[in-house]
Amino acid sequence: MKTSPQKIFNARARHLASLRSAKRQARTGMSFLYLRAAEDAASRLEDINRQFETAVLVGAIDGRPFIKPHLQQNRHPRTFGHLSSPEELSGTYDVIISIFDLQSDDNIPGTLIRYRQHLAPDGLLLIAFLGGETVTELRHSLYVADQDMLGGATARAYPMVDYSQAAMLLGRTGLALPVVDMDRVTVAYGKLRSLISDLRDLGMTNILTARDTRPLSRKWLTKLTQAYEAHFARDDGKLTATFEIIWMTGWAPHESQQKPLKPGSAKMRLADALKTQEKKV
pLDDT, tens only, 66-79: 898 888 877 788 89
Q: Which residue has the higher pLDDT, 256 or 43?
A: 43
DSSP secondary structure string, 118-162? TEEEEEEEEEEEE-TTTTHHHHHHHHHHHHHHHSS--B-SPP---
Average pLDDT, the chain: 87
Distance between CA atoms of 16 and 13, rounded to whole angstroms?
Answer: 5
pTM, whole model, 2 decimals?
Answer: 0.84
Q: What's the pLDDT band for 270 if we cut at 50, 70, 90? A: low
pLDDT tens digits, 193-235: 999 999 988 888 888 888 888 888 999 999 999 999 999 999 9
What share of the chain has pLDDT > 90, as a percent?
A: 54
Residue 238, pLDDT > 50, answer yes
CB count in 10 Å sphere of residue 54: 17
pLDDT in tens, 113-135: 999 999 999 999 999 999 989 99
pLDDT band at 257 (very low <50, low <70, confident <90, very high): low
Q: Taking a C-beta distance cutoff of 8 angstroms, is the pair 231, 156 a contact?
A: no
In the sheet that 239-251 helps form, which strands lie side by side, from edge to edge? Answer: 79-83, 54-58, 93-99, 119-130, 239-251, 176-189
| Structural domains of the chain ordered from first start | 11-132+159-187+201-209+244-255 (3.40.50.150)
Mean pLDDT of 176-193: 95
